[in-house]
Amino acid sequence: MLSTPLRYLVAFPAAMLLAAALPAAAAPTYAETGKIAGPDGGWDYVSFDPVHRRLFVSRGNGLTALDVDSGTLIGHLADGSHTHEPLVIPGGDQVLLTNGATSSALLLNAADGKLIASIPTAPFPDGAVYDTQSGLAVSFGASGIATLIDPVAKTQVATIAIGGKEEFPASDGQGRVFVNVESGNEIAVLDLKARTVAARYKLDGCDSPGGLAYAASADVLIAACDNKVAKVVAAKTGKVLASLPIGEGPDAVIYDPVRKLAFIPCGHDGVLEVIDVKGGADATVIQTVKTEVGARTGALDPKTGKLYLPTASYGAPVTPGGRPLSLPGTFHIVVVSPAG
């Protein structure tokens, strides 16, 4: 958003030309700056409420909340079962939490976690996104069916059949929602007004796309793939503009609209990839930040530029080749901050 009054822009065109000619500010350098301990248990998606300055972490049994300014942690804000996405509803003091066990979206009071409504969804809801133009939330999951939800009316308004296993979604805020179809190695494009799948973008060379973000600055999508690659895709056409090397085990893509950077936490390698989006085709990885094994999802505070990545310490798997187990008493949130 431009903060300079219009009359000043008209009065000083020379100043505008000078500003345009100046080189872009250098991207900050990132590093781990802290850890915040929390209660044991699994976790999935993370979201940030920039108005109330709260971080929400979905847990296997509900929701954890952190006041990032005071450092106050509410270990268990709300109940749930197989919960996944804590979607902040803009301007309404509400969080919509996808609840896999009951195939529903739980509309919660963001302050105290009290249940406002339970809204039916397609089976096994997982990721969710909010579209500002339509005012709708859209949930996705393993059923291959997207559910459109009106958080004001507190009801399901439609479903859209997509097919395949859906992962992270993203919205351009103009009535189009994008979602990674992990089983098809593609991005499905939904037209919310028409209530249909408007396009499918094939992601050649991308195995099991998980994380996805929309970067408005370049009108591109950034998809994280399981084969240690990120694809930068033109949002309007689906053309793959760039392929970038990343670490192993990504499960989210986080976009910072203030600094025009994207971040991909890679849980297997314990690194955070920092991507300068630029114009899309010239996007590049500018830093690989050491984090921790297991830090695969997260959220960003656009005011401070800090990232919050949940994880835990791990022991050996019970069976050879199995998944390592998190150790009791070790769940925490890693804080990664820009220098200065």
Contact 283, 246 (CB under 8 A): no
Indicate whether 8 pLDDT > 50.
Answer: no
For 134, other C-beta atoms within 10 Å of its C-beta total 19
DSSP string, 269-321: TTEEEEEE-TTSTT-EEEEEEE--TT----EE-TTT--EEEEE--EE--SSTT
Reported pTM: 0.90
Q: What is the pLDDT of residues 122-135, one digit of tens each?
A: 999 999 999 999 99
> What are the Cα distances from residue 236, in Å, to 131, 172, 216?
17, 10, 12
- 302-311 residue pLDDT tens: 999 999 999 9
Return d(Cα 266, Cα 296) in angstroms, integer: 5
| Complete domains list, the chain, with CATH | 27-338 (2.130.10.10)
CB 254 within 8 A of CB 247: no
Q: Is the pLDDT of residue 264 over 90?
A: yes
**CA angle, 48 as apex, 3 and 299 as ends, to 5°?**
105
pLDDT of 180 above 50: yes
d(CA 127, CA 140): 5
> How confident is the model over 144-157, as pLDDT tens digits?
999 999 999 999 99
- Span 310-339, pLDDT tens digits: 999 998 776 777 778 889 999 999 999 998
